[in-house]
Amino acid sequence: MFRLILCCFLVVAFCNQADAQLFGRVRSGGHNALVARSGIQPNQIGTHEGVGMSSRSHQDALQNACYYGKRPIASVQYSTRGGMYYAVVRYW
Residue 7: the pLDDT is 47
Q: Residue ranges of the alpha helices (H) in the chain?
A: 2-38, 58-64
Q: How far is CA 19 from the centre of its chain?
A: 17
- DSSP lists the bridge partners of residue 52 as 87
Residue-wise pLDDT for 55-68, tens only, equals 999 999 999 999 99
Task: Please state the rounded mean pLDDT for residues 43-64.
Answer: 92
Q: What share of the chain is helix, strand, coil (3-state, %, to 5)?
A: 50, 25, 25
